[in-house]
Amino acid sequence: MNLLQRLKPEYQKRLRQKSDDHSELVSEIIEVLETEKYVGNLKYSIIIDLQVLLNSPTLNAFTFFDDI
């Protein structure tokens, strides 16, 4: 299961909403999430992008994803 599939539904919804205004950035994030299986493999820049786009107050990337 990749990280896009594990992304919490509320964050998936916000990411889709942001795709209109930030289509290139959202496409890049989706591509990375589709290829990665582990949160620990995400680059820090992707985590920052998620935090900003999803209006998250934390840099803890694990909060964006459901546990398996």
> E strands, the chain, where?
none
Per the CB < 8 A criterion, the answer to whether 29 and 22 are in contact is no
Q: What is the pLDDT of residue 68?
A: 57
Nearest-angstrom CA–CA distance, 20 and 3: 22
The single-letter code of the amino acid at 7 is L
User: How is residue 57 annotated by DSSP?
Assistant: S
User: How is residue 18 annotated by DSSP?
Assistant: H
Euclidean distance between the first and final Cα of the chain, in Å? 9
pLDDT digits (tens, 9 = 90+) for 14-50: 999 999 999 999 999 999 999 999 999 999 999 999 9
pTM for this structure? Answer: 0.89
Question: What are the residue ranges spanned by the domains of the chain?
Answer: 3-63
